[in-house]
Amino acid sequence: MAAAPALLVVVVALTDLITPDWLHVSPVLAAVPVLAAVLLPWWATAVLALAVLVITGLLQWDAGGWGHPDTNVALGSLFVVGVTSLAACSLRQRRERQLHRIRSVAETAQCALMHPLPQRIGSLALSGVYLPAESEARIGGDFYEAVRTPYGTRMVIGDVRGKGLEAVGASAALLGAFRDLAYREPSLTRVAEQLDERARRHIAALDSDPDTDSPGGRGTGALFTERFATALLVEFPPGEAVARLVHCGHPEPYAVHAGEVRAYEPDQPGAPLGLGDLLAARPVAQTVPFGPGDRLVLYTDGFIEARDRRGRFHDLAAHVHAHAGRPLDAMVAALRRDLLRHVRRDLDDDAALVALERLP
């Protein structure tokens, strides 16, 4: 693409030379500085704008039109187009520098918000993928975290109702609360209850804040776009070949054992975070087997509610079964690839997935 303006100069000049004198295609050269302003730096745009003026003048001289009013108008128009293109190129480069600085700050903040998953915690291997609906973002309404605690490795994966920048604040609040509670609370169900209480406090604060976009406010800073979040908490107790699950309105995880895939549906589904007082459904821990070689696939609804152009949902369970024999990182990469292929790289919702494997 960077060579397109120079190539256009060559093609137009040669075409003008080989066509009859009554047919002039040199006015097409006016597109060269405009195209250069979009693709090339300022100095290259200036060189091409000057080259267009010189080549047009030579072509007009070769055709015997030098000094005619039409030639003067064409050269004057090319000069104006060149100057305008230089101004546009300068503005574009300034905006690109500003965007680069903003992205650097945003990436630093997002890395501090949602830490990269470690490849291994004790006897657990981990691999995750995050696909925000807004391609320029690194995080949206989905979140996950894994921490080593005195009670074993604990993990959370969740989905704030909403997407993009409006949901980042809610993700930050819940992740910060989980990191604190996972170390302090011996009971995983107690961690879920405290997360629900934190979510309800945030919602209550929004209702009383006139600068938020809630029923009681007028602004645009709402943390919980639809006033709740789903979450799945997982605990791997030390020295035990089990996993404890606490469902908070979140999709059930998939377990991979000996090549077979099954869903761990909750015995008693819990309420989404922020709705515990309304639904009166207390979180309940579910203990499932998780021995050496077993895998657990956690995900958000972006991986199962994504539709293709025909309206068909993405069948995550079938894809997990198809890639279950691959190494953990390769399996996660294949699941990411399958999702993007299914939606033609056009996600409507954030999507996150984490796979864990118990090592020998």
Please give the Cα distance from 47 to 30 (Å, whole number). Answer: 14
CATH architecture of 114-358: 4-Layer Sandwich (3.60)
Dig out the tokens for 345 from the structure: 């790289």
Of 303, 263, 304, the C-alpha closest to 286 is 263
State the average pLDDT over residues 129-141: 71
Quickly state the pLDDT bin for 95 (edges 50, 70, 90). very high
State the average pLDDT over residues 150-177: 82
Q: Are 86 and 46 in contact (CB under 8 A)?
A: yes
Helices (H), the chain: 4-18, 31-39, 42-62, 69-113, 165-184, 188-208, 276-279, 316-323, 328-342
Q: What is the mean pLDDT of the chain?
A: 84
The residue written with tokens 């090549």 in the block is 259
Among 108-112, 210-214, 329-333, whose mean pLDDT is lowest? 210-214
Q: Are 119 and 346 in contact (CB under 8 A)?
A: no
Please give the Cα distance from 72 to 53 (Å, whole number). Answer: 11
CA distances to 54, 123, 236 from 299, in Å: 61, 21, 18
- Give 305-326 pLDDT, tens digit per residue: 988 888 899 999 999 999 999 9
DSSP single-letter state for residue 312 = P
State the average pLDDT over residues 15-42: 81
Dig out the tokens for 332 from the structure: 């996660």
Quickly state the pLDDT bin for 158 (edges 50, 70, 90). very high
Predicted confidence (pLDDT) at residue 71 exceeds the cutoff of 80: no
Q: What pLDDT is recorded for position 214? A: 45
CA distances to 26, 79, 139 from 228, in Å: 62, 59, 18
Q: What pLDDT is recorded for position 14? A: 81
Q: In the β-sheet with 124-131, what is the strand arrangement from edge to edge? A: 120-121, 124-131, 351-358, 295-299, 254-257, 260-263
Q: What pLDDT is recorded for position 144? A: 93
Q: Are 222 and 212 in contact (CB under 8 A)?
A: yes
- 3-state secondary structure at position 241: coil
- Give 173-231 pLDDT, tens digit per residue: 889 899 999 999 999 999 999 999 888 886 666 556 655 554 444 333 344 445 688 99
CA distances to 77, 130, 215, 354 from 335, in Å: 54, 11, 39, 11
